[in-house]
Amino acid sequence: MIKVLITGSNGFLGSNLVRFFAVRSNYKVFSTSQKPSIDPIRENFLQGDLLDSSFIDNLFSRSYPDVVINTVSLVNVDQCEEAPGLAKKITVDTAENIAKASKRFGCSLIYISTDHLFDGKKSFYSEEDTPAPVNVYGKTKLRAETITQEIVRDAVIIRTNFFGWSPQGHLSTFGEWVYNNLKEQKPMNLFTDYYFTPVEVTYLAEAIQTVAESDFSGIIDIAGSERCSKYEFGITLAEICGFNPNPITPTKITSGSFKAPRQQDLSLSTMKYQELFHKNLPGLKTSLKRFADNIPEH
Give 170 or 147, the one with higher predicted confidence.
147
The percentage of residues in the chain with a pLDDT greater than 90, rounded to a whole number, is 88
The DSSP call for residue 245 is -
Q: In this predicted structure, what is the pLDDT of residue 181?
A: 97
- The whole-angstrom separation of Cα 190 and Cα 195 is 11
Contact between 25 and 176 (Cβ < 8 Å): no
Q: Do 8 and 155 share a domain, yes or no?
A: yes
Q: Do 108 and 184 share a domain, yes or no?
A: no
- The whole-angstrom separation of Cα 206 and Cα 198 is 15
Mean pLDDT of 90-113: 98
Q: In this predicted structure, what is the pLDDT of residue 155?
A: 98
Q: Do 141 and 43 share a domain, yes or no?
A: yes
Q: Do 68 and 207 share a domain, yes or no?
A: yes
In a domain, 169, yes or no: no
Q: Do 259 and 179 share a domain, yes or no?
A: yes
Give 37 or 179, the one with higher predicted confidence.
179
Q: Do 113 and 233 share a domain, yes or no?
A: no
Q: Do 28 and 147 share a domain, yes or no?
A: yes
Domain of residue 180: give its range. Answer: 174-196+226-268+276-293
Q: In this predicted structure, what is the pLDDT of residue 172?
A: 83
pLDDT in tens, 262-285: 899 999 999 999 999 999 999 999
Mean pLDDT of 206-229: 98
Contact between 72 and 141 (Cβ < 8 Å): no
Q: In this predicted structure, what is the pLDDT of residue 160?
A: 98
Confidence of residue 298 (pLDDT cuts 50, 70, 90): low
Contact between 10 and 73 (Cβ < 8 Å): no
Q: Give me the DSSP letters along 154-179.
A: T-EEEE--EE-PPPTTSPP-HHHHHH
Domain count of the chain? Answer: 2
In a domain, 149, yes or no: yes
Of 30, 32, 295, residue with least CA distance to 168 = 295
Read off the CATH number of the domain in which 138 is found: 3.40.50.720
Neighbours of 103 (CB within 10 A): 14
Confidence of residue 259 (pLDDT cuts 50, 70, 90): confident
Read off the CATH number of the domain in which 245 is found: 3.90.25.10
* pLDDT exceeds 90 at position 166: no
* pLDDT exceeds 70 at position 220: yes
* pLDDT exceeds 80 at position 292: yes
* pLDDT exceeds 90 at position 171: no
Q: Do 22 and 67 share a domain, yes or no?
A: yes
Q: Name, in order, each residue with C-beta under 8 angstroms of 254's C-beta and a sequence gap of 6 or more.
A: none
In a domain, 168, yes or no: no
Q: Name, in order, each residue with C-beta under 8 angstroms of 266's C-beta and a sequence gap of 6 or more.
A: 115, 116, 118, 120, 161, 194, 195, 196, 197
Q: Do 192 and 132 share a domain, yes or no?
A: no
Q: What is the mean pLDDT of the chain?
A: 94
Q: Do 63 and 74 share a domain, yes or no?
A: yes
Q: Give the pairing of strands 228-229 and 195-196.
A: antiparallel
In a domain, 288, yes or no: yes
Give 175 or 39, the one with higher predicted confidence.
175
* pLDDT exceeds 90 at position 256: no
pLDDT in tens, 173-200: 999 999 999 999 999 999 999 999 999 9
User: Coil, strand, or helix at residue 87?
Assistant: helix
Contact between 227 and 124 (Cβ < 8 Å): yes
Give Cα 76 to chain centroid, integer Å.
12
Q: Do 84 and 158 share a domain, yes or no?
A: yes
* pLDDT exceeds 90 at position 255: no
pTM: 0.95
Q: Do 53 and 145 share a domain, yes or no?
A: yes
User: Coil, strand, or helix at residue 136?
Assistant: helix
In a domain, 102, yes or no: yes
Give the C-alpha distances (Å, rounded to integers) separating 190 from 60, 96, 137, 150, 183.
Answer: 43, 36, 22, 39, 16
- The whole-angstrom separation of Cα 96 and Cα 102 is 10
